[in-house]
Amino acid sequence: LAKTTQPISMDSYEGQEVNITCSHNNIATNDYITWYQQFPSQGPRFIIQGYKTKVTNEVASLFIPADRKSSTLSLPRVSLSDTAVYYCLVAAYSSASKIIFGSGTRLSIRP
Protein backbone atom coordinates (compact mmCIF):
# COMPACT_ATOMS: atom_id res chain seq x y z
CA LEU A 1 0.00 0.00 0.00
CA ALA A 2 1.34 3.41 -0.96
CA LYS A 3 2.18 5.61 1.99
CA THR A 4 1.12 9.23 2.01
CA THR A 5 2.67 12.32 3.51
CA GLN A 6 0.72 15.49 4.20
CA PRO A 7 1.23 18.54 6.41
CA ILE A 8 0.18 18.04 10.00
CA SER A 9 -1.70 21.31 10.15
CA MET A 10 -2.65 24.39 8.14
CA ASP A 11 -4.30 27.70 8.96
CA SER A 12 -6.26 30.00 6.69
CA TYR A 13 -8.97 32.66 6.72
CA GLU A 14 -12.54 32.74 5.57
CA GLY A 15 -12.93 33.42 1.88
CA GLN A 16 -9.46 32.18 0.96
CA GLU A 17 -8.62 29.25 -1.29
CA VAL A 18 -6.86 26.46 0.56
CA ASN A 19 -4.60 23.91 -1.10
CA ILE A 20 -3.49 20.79 0.77
CA THR A 21 -0.81 18.73 -0.93
CA CYS A 22 -0.25 15.03 -0.35
CA SER A 23 2.86 13.11 -1.42
CA HIS A 24 2.58 9.49 -2.50
CA ASN A 25 5.86 8.68 -4.19
CA ASN A 26 5.23 4.93 -4.35
CA ILE A 27 1.79 5.10 -5.92
CA ALA A 28 1.04 2.08 -8.11
CA THR A 29 -0.49 2.04 -11.58
CA ASN A 30 -3.89 0.88 -10.38
CA ASP A 31 -4.07 3.14 -7.30
CA TYR A 32 -6.72 5.82 -6.99
CA ILE A 33 -6.36 8.92 -4.82
CA THR A 34 -9.17 9.70 -2.40
CA TRP A 35 -9.67 12.50 0.10
CA TYR A 36 -11.82 12.36 3.23
CA GLN A 37 -12.93 15.07 5.65
CA GLN A 38 -13.50 14.53 9.36
CA PHE A 39 -15.26 16.90 11.73
CA PRO A 40 -14.85 16.53 15.50
CA SER A 41 -16.91 13.70 16.99
CA GLN A 42 -17.86 12.38 13.55
CA GLY A 43 -16.61 9.68 11.23
CA PRO A 44 -14.74 10.75 8.08
CA ARG A 45 -16.73 11.43 4.95
CA PHE A 46 -15.72 11.14 1.31
CA ILE A 47 -14.87 14.40 -0.47
CA ILE A 48 -13.36 13.59 -3.83
CA GLN A 49 -11.50 10.91 -5.77
CA GLY A 50 -9.35 10.88 -8.87
CA TYR A 51 -6.83 8.95 -10.92
CA LYS A 52 -5.07 11.63 -12.96
CA THR A 53 -5.34 15.24 -14.14
CA LYS A 54 -8.13 17.24 -12.50
CA VAL A 55 -11.40 16.33 -10.88
CA THR A 56 -13.95 18.85 -9.64
CA ASN A 57 -17.17 18.46 -7.72
CA GLU A 58 -19.41 20.78 -5.74
CA VAL A 59 -17.13 20.65 -2.72
CA ALA A 60 -13.55 20.66 -3.98
CA SER A 61 -11.09 20.15 -6.80
CA LEU A 62 -8.35 17.56 -6.96
CA PHE A 63 -5.23 18.19 -9.01
CA ILE A 64 -3.00 15.26 -9.93
CA PRO A 65 0.19 15.81 -11.96
CA ALA A 66 1.23 13.47 -14.73
CA ASP A 67 3.64 11.46 -12.55
CA ARG A 68 0.88 11.00 -9.91
CA LYS A 69 3.44 11.17 -7.10
CA SER A 70 1.47 13.88 -5.41
CA SER A 71 -2.02 15.36 -5.37
CA THR A 72 -3.49 18.66 -4.23
CA LEU A 73 -6.90 19.10 -2.68
CA SER A 74 -8.22 22.60 -3.38
CA LEU A 75 -11.01 24.10 -1.30
CA PRO A 76 -12.35 27.33 -2.85
CA ARG A 77 -13.44 30.20 -0.63
CA VAL A 78 -13.31 28.36 2.69
CA SER A 79 -15.61 29.14 5.58
CA LEU A 80 -15.39 28.42 9.30
CA SER A 81 -17.30 25.19 8.70
CA ASP A 82 -14.41 23.83 6.65
CA THR A 83 -12.36 23.49 9.84
CA ALA A 84 -11.68 19.75 9.94
CA VAL A 85 -9.06 17.07 9.44
CA TYR A 86 -8.43 16.09 5.83
CA TYR A 87 -7.06 12.66 4.94
CA CYS A 88 -5.40 11.64 1.70
CA LEU A 89 -5.52 7.94 0.78
CA VAL A 90 -4.23 5.88 -2.09
CA ALA A 91 -5.66 2.46 -2.78
CA ALA A 92 -5.91 0.09 -5.71
CA TYR A 93 -9.06 -0.31 -7.78
CA SER A 94 -9.01 -4.06 -7.52
CA SER A 95 -10.38 -6.78 -5.35
CA ALA A 96 -10.48 -6.51 -1.60
CA SER A 97 -7.77 -4.90 0.45
CA LYS A 98 -7.61 -2.87 3.62
CA ILE A 99 -7.68 0.90 3.52
CA ILE A 100 -5.03 2.67 5.57
CA PHE A 101 -5.50 6.25 6.73
CA GLY A 102 -2.56 8.51 7.44
CA SER A 103 -2.41 11.17 10.13
CA GLY A 104 -4.28 13.74 8.07
CA THR A 105 -4.01 17.53 7.90
CA ARG A 106 -5.74 19.56 10.56
CA LEU A 107 -7.15 22.65 8.81
CA SER A 108 -8.16 25.62 10.95
CA ILE A 109 -10.12 28.45 9.39
CA ARG A 110 -10.21 31.82 11.15
CA PRO A 111 -12.69 34.70 10.70
Partner 1 sequence: GAGVSQSPSNKVTEKGKDVELRCDPISGHTALYWYRQRLGQGLEFLIYFQGNSAPDKSGLPSDRFSAERTGESVSTLTIQRTQQEDSAVYLCASSLAGGQGAAGELFFGEGSRLTVL
Beta-bridge partner residues of 23: 5, 70
Q: Is 91 in the site for partner 1 (CB under 8 A)?
A: yes
The residue from 7, 59, 72, 92 that contacts partner 1 (CB under 8 A) is 92
What is the smallest separation between the CB atom of 4 and partner 1, expressed in angstroms?
Answer: 11
User: Measured in whole angstroms, how far is the alpha carbon of residue 109 from the centre of its chain?
Assistant: 17
Pairing between strand 9-13 and 105-110? parallel
Q: Which stretch binds partner 1 (CB under 8 A): 15-23, 65-73, 74-82, 89-97?
A: 89-97
CA distance 34 to 4: 11
Q: Which residues contact 90 (CB under 8 A, 6 or more apart)?
A: 1, 2, 4, 24, 27, 31, 32, 33, 34
Nearer to partner 1, 14 or 56 (CB): 56
Nearer to partner 1, 66 or 96 (CB): 96
Q: Is 101 in the site for partner 1 (CB under 8 A)?
A: yes
The residue from 29, 67, 81, 98 that contacts partner 1 (CB under 8 A) is 98
Q: Which stretch binds partner 1 (CB under 8 A): 13-21, 29-37, 61-69, 76-84?
A: 29-37
Of 22, 3, 30, 107, the C-alpha closest to 65 is 22
